Amino acid sequence: MSRMAGALLLAAGVLVAGHLSSDRVVQLLWLWLPVPLLMLAWPSRPLGPARWLAASWLLLFGVDACLRGYLFSRYGMTHESSALLLALANTQPGEAWEYLLGHAHELLPWLGLLSLAVLAAALALRTPAPQGPSRRRQRLVLALALLALLSVGFKGMRRFHPLWAWPGVALAVQQQQADWQRLGDQHRQWRLAARAAVPRPVTGAATVVLVLSDSVNPDNLQLHGYPRATTPALQQLRTTLEPPLAVVREAWAQDASTIPALQRLLVRDGQHLLALAEAGGYKVWWISNHDDLAVKNVHARLAEPRMHMLNRSPGRRSATPDAVVLPRLREALADPAPSKLIVLHLLGAHPYYERRVPPGSANPFAGSDDAVDAALRAAGRPAWLIDQRAAYDAALRHHDALLAETLALTARSSATRRAWLFTSDHGQEVGHERDHAGHSPDTLAGYRIPLLLWQSEPGSVPPAELEQRRFRADSFTPLMAALLRLDTPLATQPPHLLQPTFRWQLPEEIQRLQPKPRPSEP
């Protein structure tokens, strides 16, 4: 083996070691590959311009591997983690130096790996050129190198390339610092508006737990008549709780993605739900298994200092289980404050579905060949989509156990008045209307959401009547204001489920997706 090949193998080893604990090793090796291939196929003189460029390439990927390896092994973060962006945006140079000194013992192994990356780059820079391969092999190598370079055109590949990833982090940090000023002003406006709208705090001890989940389609819930046992724990609670749990049969989001959907749920007529609750004397918590910068800064920060962002890995590949919220929920329920609003923000059944289930857990619906599988085959759905439906239903079954635990904890809490409400930001299309698994702004399945409500004291509308009513997302803040018993017109004026004079209007976003009536036959 030539000395050049040895230098490249050392550089590849650094890359693999840095990314070993993540699932991006193959992807990063592929992005790294073009320059090493070209170095072996077209020999260049030591210390020449081409060698400096190649050595810089190897060092770039080596430094990237060490940085990301440390972040993932120490904190479970990726370079896109909102926790990392927030830390960088909120850190002064002096604080960064103090961090390095305080964590030197943890950094030593990674500094050792970084020294190997420097060694590999130095060897590649100075090593005599190996003999080049034949013309035919050169053409094959060139084709492979070009293919690897062209793959950078795909966003899913490009976002992990060091030349894009770290400049992207720098831009995100700058944007974050600018947004903080803007959002700080917005939060002040919401709080001022809330204090004007809620002149008096609520009386009596009250605990309200709001569970906001992600990507849950009620058509896949056993509670809604789905043939698979996706909600056995909630089914059991429904038979034992008094007063009974209300299951609203028809509820609609007005957006098919998280950021705009949450805005519709939590903000109405210039009023934010969390600011209203605070003005009404509630102590507010936001406990989240999401790692989303926008959600954190727009909504969750209104709950500071009781904001707990427990996930450190953003996006679909996160495998942090929703059960991480339970210890914080127990702490919040045990807090002596008389009035509490506790918001739990869960990943729910967000794609990738298999990552919402603990590793090693069996999928009870995989290969079951039941009525659901038969219906999907009858609709012409492909085998991969039938598998995705099984994975989605397994995620919902795991989610059900957590929901039941949060409801049971709420029901057992010591407050005089207790309430628990569960919904999802938007729905999910998993072969319901077309050959697709995921978010879907073009089908009704993308907008169907569940709505479950339990109150320790009977409300003005009996649970049986609530179940027959229909819900739309933009009435959620008025609904919550009424559930919190806030002294504000928002709790009485807009139409919502808890009003005796409730009136229903189908959202325009749903109307456009309704099947058009066929013209009558002549």
Q: How many CB atoms lie within 10 A of CB 358?
A: 10
Q: What is the mean pLDDT of residues 343-350?
A: 96
Q: What is the mean pLDDT of residues 480-508?
A: 86
Torsion angle defined by CA atoms of residues 157, 159, 162 and 168, in that order, rounded to the nearest 10 degrees: 170
Grouping H, G, I as helix, E, B as strand and the rest as coil, residue 8 is: helix
Question: What per-residue confidence (pLDDT) applies to 435?
Answer: 92
Segment among 17-26, 54-63, 289-298, 394-403 with least mean pLDDT: 17-26
Residues with Cβ within 8 Å of residue 150, at least 6 apart in sequence: none
Q: Which residue has the higher pLDDT, 68 or 178?
A: 68
Question: What per-residue confidence (pLDDT) applies to 518?
Answer: 38
pLDDT tens for each residue of 197-224? 998 999 888 999 999 999 999 999 999 9
The alpha carbon of 363 is separated from its chain's Cα centroid by a whole number of angstroms, namely 22
Query: Is pLDDT of 98 > 80?
Result: no
- 336 conformational bin, left if phi > 0, alpha if psi -120 to 50, beta if neither: alpha
Q: Are 237 and 407 in contact (CB under 8 A)?
A: yes
Question: What per-residue confidence (pLDDT) applies to 316?
Answer: 62
Question: What per-residue confidence (pLDDT) applies to 214?
Answer: 96
Grouping H, G, I as helix, E, B as strand and the rest as coil, residue 159 is: coil
Residues with Cβ within 8 Å of residue 361, at least 6 apart in sequence: 394, 398
pLDDT tens for each residue of 405-442? 999 999 999 899 999 999 999 999 999 999 999 888 88
Q: Can you tell me the distance from the alpha carbon of 41 to that of 143, in angstroms, rounded to the nearest whole number?
A: 12
Q: Which residue has the higher pLDDT, 321 or 511?
A: 321
Q: Is the pTM of this model over 0.95?
A: no
Q: Are 420 and 333 in contact (CB under 8 A)?
A: no
Question: What per-residue confidence (pLDDT) applies to 132?
Answer: 62
Q: What is the mean pLDDT of residues 93-121?
A: 82
pLDDT tens for each residue of 352-411? 899 999 888 889 999 889 999 999 999 999 999 999 999 999 999 999 999 999 999 999
| Structural Rg of the chain based on CA atoms | 27
Q: Which residue has the higher pLDDT, 135 or 117?
A: 117
Single out the residue of 519, 33, 83 nearest to residue 300, CA to CA: 83
How high does pLDDT run on average in the chain?
87
Single out the residue of 103, 120, 94 nearest to residue 13, CA to CA: 120
Q: Can you tell me the distance from the alpha carbon of 456 to that of 477, in angstroms, rounded to the nearest whole number?
A: 20
Q: What is the mean pLDDT of residues 167-172?
A: 89
Question: What per-residue confidence (pLDDT) applies to 76?
Answer: 74
Phi, psi of 317, deg, nearest 5: -85, -5
Q: Place 195 in a pLDDT band, splitting at 50, 70 and 90.
A: very high
Question: What per-residue confidence (pLDDT) applies to 342?
Answer: 98
Element spanning 377, H or E: helix 371-378
pLDDT above 70 covers what percent of the chain? 92
Query: Is pLDDT of 33 > 90?
Result: no
Q: Can you tell me the distance from the alpha carbon of 304 to that of 35, in angstroms, rounded to the nearest whole number?
A: 48
pLDDT tens for each residue of 307-326? 999 987 766 667 889 999 99
Q: Which residue has the higher pLDDT, 492 or 264?
A: 264
Question: What per-residue confidence (pLDDT) applies to 300?
Answer: 95
The amino acid sitting at 383 is A
Q: What is the mean pLDDT of residues 158-170?
A: 86
Q: Place 519 in a pLDDT band, splitting at 50, 70 and 90.
A: very low
